[in-house]
Structure 1
Amino acid sequence: MTTFTELGLPKSLVDALAAQGVTSPFPIQEATLPHTLAGRDVLGRGRTGSGKTYGFALPVLARLAAGPTRRRPGRPRALILAPTRELATQIEATIAPLGKVLGLKTTTIFGGVSASPQITRLRDGVDIVVACPGRLADHMRSGEVKLDQIEITVLDEADHMADLGFLPEVRRIMDQTPERGQRLLFSATLDGGVDVLVKRFMHDPVTHSVDSAQSPVSTMTHHVLHLEETHRLPVLVDLTAAPGRTLVFTRTKHRAKSLTRKLVASGVPAVELHGNLGQNARTRNLEAFSSGAAKTLVATDIAARGIHVDDVTLVIHADPPVEHKAYLHRSGRTARAGASGTVVTLMTDDQIADVRDLTRKAGIKPTTTQIGPGHPLLAELAPGDRTFDASPRRPIVDNRPKKVTASGGDASARGGRRGGPAPENRGGQGARANAQSRRGEPAGRGGSSRGSRGGAGRDSFG
């Protein structure tokens, strides 16, 4: 097996990785590192959980550490663009400890939080900025950051940024980076709007596709549970009360909030994640899920892309998604980095045709079982003794009014161009009118994505 040293990483970075228990590269890292370290533009495609973050983080760190230039106030040396605040935070958490070993400073920039600390860090000087497009564009317009010293630009989850309508902002940002700087693009798919970015900004890129964008993970088992609508909640309670972390996806923000409250009322420690939450609540809830304080996370598609939490053993589609790509991205929150996992889709009579079409396009052949509460299969899908909190707490929510900052505090005050799964959305709650017809969660209906065509509005937990 090829080692990081053989791929060309400096010893200090190899040692820092080993200290974190990372000793062998994943296939996409092994395929791309020789080109990225040599300064080539690279398109990297691999399914979610395939190791794309290290795939671009390592060459960024190695090249900056070896470069002759040093950081200057307001002029970072590397830029990593991500579609959501949570993903930006996780990327920075991956890079920061490695960068510290190399003497490199990192920071995140996104909306929904005060701009002042971000401005302070930019003025102090940072090497690597991990940013969402909207707030970064604000800082560019105010003159707090200039991109003329960027040596490497990374677009992570580029297809998701295109889906969310970020392409115009991304193009304006990319136009401000040096034309001959290195560009890396990592994504689960390289189609649609991503081609626009590739043709405009990348020079003779090397493309690496570790596996098909549609290929399901072999260590992931898929089940469809055919049930009556009134049985949806008791089945969910049974599955989520089992040991281990469970991620439950709903169609809308309202359904995520409602289901979370019903699970908590049933004694299942659960938290919610969706675009109607303020950034502080989103961060707290994700931390509660990551730490195990809450073993169930109920989320809209905001958590379907890029969010990584170790040891998610079960993913449940409480509402089947419309598109097969969404199914694969949601399901990819389990069986990551070689681990195994189980994916369960709940299906009622009027969703049969849609779910059959969905799984066919996703390239999977699930096991379909007609069940009700207490069915023995539930214990097989989520083994272990069911435990319930005798005095459940209320879910963490944040309904306080958002502050509006001069550099893009709340989208609702600025007419926010992007809605719903609140990528970064500069505040997370605005854009109800304009964005819902174009992308994201249909905010007027409290929604996420476009929703399931079958059984809409007839759920037993909404």
Structure 2
Amino acid sequence: MTQFSDLGLAKPLLKALAEKGYKEPTPIQAQAIPVVLQGKDLLGIAQTGTGKTAAFALPILQRLAENRMPAPRRGFRCLVLSPTRELATQIADNFKAYAVHMGLSVATVYGGVKYGPQMKALAAGVDVLVATPGRLMDHMAEKSASVSGVEIFVLDEADQMLDLGFVVPIRKIASQMSKNRQNLFFSATMPTEIGRLAGELLKDPVQVSVAPQATTVERIDQRVLFIEAQRKRPLLAELFADSSFSRTIVFTRTKRGADRVAKYLNAAGIEAASIHGDKTQGQRERALAAFKAGEMRAMVATDIAARGIDVNDVSHVINYELPNVPEAYVHRIGRTARKGKDGIAISFCADDERNLLKDIQKATRQTIPSFDRRNDKQLAAAAAVADKLVPAEKYVDPRAADPRNNVPSELRRNRGRNRNGGGGNGGGGGGGGRSAGGQSAQGKGPQRQGRGAGQGQKPGGARNDFRGPKRDAAAPEKRWSPIE
């Protein structure tokens, strides 16, 4: 069995690792550390929870210590770019913990806080800077930060950078660095655009890949509960009636959804807080600290915010809403299977989420056990109570918000036919009319291409609107209780 001492790490680092109770490297650490120590570029394919932060932090600190020199004013010798504030803080904390016996400085730069303290920290220069791309670009524009002296550049969670639209800023930042630098590139997945970016930044990289998705997924007890959308909240409360749901992360697709679920849980007597990009840094840090300390049972999060959540012993992950992409599902449920432990992941699936579930099962190459909780009379009664605690958010057709669209449908169809000669893609009068071809269209002028807001419906055909497809109101064949 490989030990940290076998990887060529210096005594101060080994001492810090021993103090933290780390004895054996994870697979990504065993593969990556020797490569980074040799000064080579690295392309690492690894998911969160595999120990990849230590895989680059440990050898970077050793290289900086072996070639100790003052950092340039308003500069830094190593730059780590992270997609979120929480993840940046987590990475910086790890660097500080490993460097406790080395006398190297570490600073963070991210949005949501004042510029002054960050400028002060950068003024004399630091050995390691962990930053989010947007705030670093701001400092560079203000001349309070310079990347010209960067010796080692780390891009972490590259696929998430793509999702957040950070690829262009990353290219701008990299263009101002010295060409004679070491590059370390980490990503959980490798979309085409990320592969292109890696090709631009890396020079003859060594590629290491660990923890395939299936391996991570197989360690988790996964279940799907089919449920009507309006009854998800009482089902969630039913799950929390089981005391084993002691430290649970609940995922929603939107920030507003996270707030509403957290509000409902608190109203139902279940300690919870939401965490997402609209929260202040202080709010996020306090919520995360309370969750880690066990002061509340539920953390309701969006996918992006959850990238910075590093909490041990998460008992359950609940997908209150299924994610739009399968990769996000794997990231979500991986929060409950850290450091080789098993976990439980429960996903709520409404009728209009069936296709998302199919994509997830196809990507993970498995059929997730499912239980039907639709038409449950107890949940129906509980849903009425839930609406009194926190009123359910009602669907509002966006066309209704514009008074110009309060036009009878027949008139809208005639208007579209007159302007466009009966074409199926003509722009409606105010963005909400249906064309003669049956395709709902949006547009403001006769020459504009309509942007379909819905499909035409044949008499007696399947419903294809916000309510999802029609289904038979059959009695559920199989039910599941969290206490089973």
With the length of structure 1 as denominator, give the TM-score of the two structures.
0.78
Task: Verify: 1:165 aligned to 2:143, yes or no.
Answer: no
Q: Distance in 2 between matches of 1:339 and 1:303?
A: 23
Q: Distance in 1 between matches of 2:51 and 2:359?
A: 29
CA contact (8 A) 1:189 1:213 kept: no
Q: Distance in 1 between matches of 2:155 and 2:225?
A: 37
Structure 1 residues 274, 83: closer, same or farther in 2, change over 3 A?
A: same
Structure 1 residues 231, 345: closer, same or farther in 2, change over 3 A?
A: same
- Structure number with higher relative contact order (C-alpha < 8 Å, ≥ 6 residues apart): 1
Residue 27 of structure 1 corresponds to 27
Task: Verify: 1:73 aligned to 2:62, yes or no.
Answer: no
Structure 1 residues 52, 16: closer, same or farther in 2, change over 3 A?
A: same
CA deviations over 1:117-147 (Å, ceiling 9, x no partner):
0000111331100000011111112211212
RMSD value, Cα: 2.1
CA contact (8 A) 1:39 1:182 kept: yes
CA contact (8 A) 1:249 1:299 kept: yes
Structure 1 residues 303, 311: closer, same or farther in 2, change over 3 A?
A: farther
* Equivalent AA in structure 2 for residue 342 of structure 1: I
Q: Distance in 2 between matches of 1:330 and 1:6?
A: 34
CA deviations over 1:148-207 (Å, ceiling 9, x no partner):
221111000011101211011101111122212111011101232222322222110000
Residue 252 of structure 2 corresponds to 250
User: SS where residue 249 of structure 2 aligns?
Assistant: strand
CA contact (8 A) 1:46 1:213 kept: no
* Equivalent AA in structure 1 for residue 27 of structure 2: P
User: SS where residue 77 of structure 1 aligns?
Assistant: strand
CA deviations over 1:90-134 (Å, ceiling 9, x no partner):
111111122232101101101111010000011133110000001
Residue 370 of structure 1 corresponds to 372
* Equivalent AA in structure 2 for residue 236 of structure 1: L
Using the TM superposition, give the Cα deviation of residue 81 of structure 1 relative to its aligned residue in structure 2, in angstroms.
0.2
Of 253-262 and 185-194, deviating more is 185-194
Q: Which 4+ runs in 1 deviate beyond 6 A?
A: 372-375
| Residue ranges of structure 2 left out of the alignment (5+ in a row) | 379-388, 390-464, 469-484
Using the TM superposition, give the Cα deviation of residue 85 of structure 1 relative to its aligned residue in structure 2, in angstroms.
0.6
Residue 86 of structure 1 corresponds to 86
Residue 146 of structure 1 corresponds to 146
* Equivalent AA in structure 1 for residue 262 of structure 2: T
When Rg is computed on C-alpha atoms for both structures, the one with the higher figure is 2
Alignment of 1:137-286 (within 5 A): 137-213=137-213, 215-241=215-241, 242-243=243-244, 244-286=246-288
Aligned with 1:299 (options 280, 298, 301): 301
Alignment of 1:384-403 (within 5 A): none
Task: Verify: 1:52 aligned to 2:47, yes or no.
Answer: no
User: SS where residue 309 of structure 1 aligns?
Assistant: coil
* Equivalent AA in structure 1 for residue 79 of structure 2: L
Q: Distance in 2 between matches of 1:355 and 1:144?
A: 47
User: SS where residue 344 of structure 2 aligns?
Assistant: strand
Q: Distance in 2 between matches of 1:8 and 1:374?
A: 63
CA deviations over 1:350-382 (Å, ceiling 9, x no partner):
43343133222233321111237799xxxxxxx
Residue 356 of structure 1 corresponds to 358
* Equivalent AA in structure 2 for residue 343 of structure 1: A
CA deviations over 1:436-461 (Å, ceiling 9, x no partner):
xxxxxxxxxxxxxxxxx9758xxxxx
* Equivalent AA in structure 2 for residue 174 of structure 1: A
* Equivalent AA in structure 2 for residue 182 of structure 1: Q
Residue 3 of structure 1 corresponds to 3
CA contact (8 A) 2:74 2:123 kept: yes
Structure 1 residues 47, 367: closer, same or farther in 2, change over 3 A?
A: same
Q: Distance in 2 between matches of 1:374 and 1:69?
A: 70
* Equivalent AA in structure 2 for residue 41 of structure 1: D
Structure 1 residues 56, 240: closer, same or farther in 2, change over 3 A?
A: farther
CA contact (8 A) 2:31 2:208 kept: yes
Structure 1 residues 356, 120: closer, same or farther in 2, change over 3 A?
A: same
* Equivalent AA in structure 1 for residue 363 of structure 2: K
Structure 1 residues 124, 240: closer, same or farther in 2, change over 3 A?
A: farther
CA deviations over 1:197-231 (Å, ceiling 9, x no partner):
22222110000111335654332111001123343
Using the TM superposition, give the Cα deviation of residue 306 of structure 1 relative to its aligned residue in structure 2, in angstroms.
4.5
CA contact (8 A) 1:29 1:55 kept: yes
Q: Distance in 1 between matches of 2:160 and 2:147?
A: 23
| Residue ranges of structure 1 left out of the alignment (5+ in a row) | 376-391, 393-452, 457-462
Identity, in percent, stands at 41
User: SS where residue 99 of structure 2 aligns?
Assistant: helix
Q: How many residues get paired?
A: 380
* Equivalent AA in structure 1 for residue 157 of structure 2: E
* Equivalent AA in structure 1 for residue 183 of structure 2: R
* Equivalent AA in structure 1 for residue 297 of structure 2: K
